[in-house]
Structure 1
Amino acid sequence: MQNKTNDLDSVYQRIWEAIVAHKLLPGTRLKEEDLSETFGLSRGFVRKLLLQLSHHKLVHLVPNSGAFVAEPSPEEAREIFQARRLIEAELVRELASKCTAREKQLLQEHVEREHQAFAQGQQSLRIRLSGEFHLLIGKLANKPVLTSFLHEIIPRSSLIIALYQGPGPLKGKARHSGLSCSEHTGLLAAIAAHEVDKAVQLMIDHLNEIEAQLQLEPTHDEDVNLKEIFADL
């Protein structure tokens, strides 16, 4: 067994990051034995880890079947984005009202890392950085309670995006990444300029746009071409 770590919190963080980066997709089975070997944890510790992930709605435990990365329902997806709008509007309002030169610099450095990752085609890193940008706003706003809620629902948002990302001119991850890059830049400018109302509206518009990309309604195509579907199977 590889002794990579025996720190439960560290392993939780690594799984959290894998979910945020869309490396662990909804429905993926998390086998106890694989987690035990990968992280050098006992099976008992792995069970504790899976219970913790389940408590935070990131993993679904199925009796006699195992643990699976959660697959949020469309109703849960809508509620998650509703919660994000409420929480993040207040966080950005607080930060925009008092943003210092140092805080502006921290936000700029982060956005530059996002642009660099996007330009280099590092989509998993880019997606993770996107979530961390929102958490950074919470940290700089100095609202630990609201930020703790956000820390819980950001990974669930990533699961939702991975599960329900609709088709578009760019495919899923790249489309979402490019959108966030440009909108984070505008949001940063409003925060740094202390344009409170504008920053709040930009944040709400940003989250609305991400949600609008999701295909939360069932699609009904009466003209399914079965020959085309099975041509390459």
Structure 2
Amino acid sequence: MATDKTSVNSQLDAAYQRVWGAIVSHRLLPGTRLKEDDLCDTFGISRGNVRKLLQQLAHHHLVTLIPNSGAFVARPGREEAQEVFKTRRMMELEMVRELARKCTARDRQMLEQHLHREHAAHESGDKSLRIRLSGEFHLLIGTLAERPVLYQFLHEIISRASLIVALYQRSHSANGRSAGDRACCEHHDLIEAIAAHRVEQAVELMDAHLQELENQLDLEPPLERHVDLKKVFA
């Protein structure tokens, strides 16, 4: 029984990552309907497990479930995106201030190891992994800051912000640098300031970093189109 449960969880995790990857690569656009029958055929899982998958995606705000209509790729609007980033900024500035005050050598090592993984994902062209790791970098700062209550709220916000970035981030910033290259460089500068206990500099860098992320968003809604899920996940 335990083995069967592990196998199902593994299938659901794999399906989740494939849906996330399709959203990041813009093969699934905001508002795309995810039909249960198509997902059953595509991933080779039961209808019950497809519903579990959709619930998990909805919990992380990747999918919107509408009664009597179905499941659709989430379509956060301009006002929601701005509210998410405003809330994120308030929480993360507090987190980075706390960590910069007490950062240890071990904390720095953990941040640098994570940044190394971000660089590798960027260099390999794996946008899906790069966006996920970028969000997890910010969560790692929250973890190391040891503010558990604030961290719970941050986890929710980062999930929503990562989706917004995946859907709407331009591939290059205003100065022509790729979004991934700029994010890695800014994370490196953040680590240096945090590790040196330069508190106000760390706060300023985080504020500028989050503002740049928001500036990279193109919040004009994409045109809706019919999508063949079997071809998307082929």
TM-score range, shorter chain: 0.7 to 0.9
Residue 82 (str. 1) matches residue 99 (str. 2): no
One-letter amino acid of the structure 2 residue matched with residue 163 of structure 1: L
CA apart distance, 1:75: 0.4
In the alignment, the residues of structure 1 paired with residue 195 and residue 52 of structure 2 have an alpha-carbon distance, to the nearest angstrom, of 42
Q: Does 1:101 align with 2:102?
A: no
Pairwise mapping of residues 1-233 of structure 1 onto structure 2 (< 5 A)? 5-7=7-9, 11=12, 15=16, 19=20, 22-23=24-25, 25-36=29-40, 42-166=46-170, 168=172, 175-216=178-219
Figure out how many residues of one structure are paired with residues of the other and give that number.
Answer: 213
Change (3 A) 1:129 1:18: farther
Q: Could you tell me which residue of structure 1 aligns to residue 232 of structure 2? A: none
Q: 1:20-66: CA deviations, max 9, x gaps? A: 88256533433324544666654234324423543443311234432
Q: Match for residue 224 of structure 2?
A: none
Structure 1: 5+ residue runs without aligned partners?
Answer: 219-233
Amino acid paired to 1:6: V
Q: CA RMSD in A?
A: 3.1
Shifted more, 35-44 versus 181-190: the winner is: 35-44
Report 1 or 2 for greater relative contact order, CA contacts < 8 Å, sequence distance ≥ 6.
2
SS, match of residue 24 in structure 2? coil
Alignment check: 8 A CA contact 1:139 1:147 kept: yes
Change in Cα spacing, 1:126 to 1:58, as seen in structure 2 (3 Å) is: closer
* Greater mean deviation of Cα atoms: 35-44 or 89-98: 35-44
Instruction: Label 1:30 to 1:132 Cα distance change in 2 as closer, same or farther (>3 A).
Output: same
Q: 1:78 to 1:204 in 2, by over 3 A?
A: same
* Conserved 8 A contact 1:19-1:158: no
Does 52-61 or 181-190 show the bigger shift?
52-61
Contact 2:12 2:49 in 1 (8 A): no
Report the alpha carbon displacement of residue 111 of structure 1 after superposing the two structures with TM. Answer: 1.0
Change (3 A) 1:189 1:25: farther
Aligned CA distance change for structure 1 residues 163 and 56 (closer, same or farther; 3 Å):
closer
Percentage of identical aligned residues: 58
1:77, CA displacement in angstroms? 0.2
2-side partners of 1:148 and 1:15: how far apart?
22
Contact 2:91 2:150 in 1 (8 A): yes
Q: Distance in 1 between matches of 2:17 and 2:156?
A: 10
